[in-house]
Amino acid sequence: MTTTASPPSSRFTPALLILERSPRLEPDLKNLLANTDLLVRPCRSPRDVLELSSKMRGSVVVMDFDASPAETLRLLEHLSHGRRDARPIVLASPEWGELEWAVRDAGAIHFLPRSTPIRCVANHCRSLLGVIGGNDDSC
What the chain holds in terms of domains, given with CATH numbers, is 16-129 (3.40.50.2300)
Residue 49 predicted with pLDDT over 60: yes
Give 137 or 46, the one with higher predicted confidence: 46
Residue 96 predicted with pLDDT over 70: yes
Give 22 or 135, the one with higher predicted confidence: 22
Give 13 or 25, the one with higher predicted confidence: 25
* CA dist list (Å): 134 to 64, 124, 138: 24, 11, 12
Average the pLDDT over 99-111 and give the result.
Answer: 96
What does the pLDDT look like over 60-93, one tens digit per residue? 999 999 999 999 999 999 998 877 789 999 999 9
Contact 45, 89 (CB under 8 A): no
Average the pLDDT over 25-42 and give the result.
Answer: 92
> What residues does 88 pair with on adjacent strands?
61
CA trace torsion 73, 108, 66, 125 (10° rounding): -140
Confidence of residue 133 (pLDDT cuts 50, 70, 90): low
pTM for the model: 0.87
Residues 6+ apart with CB under 8 A from 26: 18, 20, 40, 42
What does the pLDDT look like over 34-43, one tens digit per residue? 988 889 999 9
Rounded to the nearest 5 percent, the helix, strand and coil shares of the chain are 40, 15, 40
Confidence of residue 4 (pLDDT cuts 50, 70, 90): very low
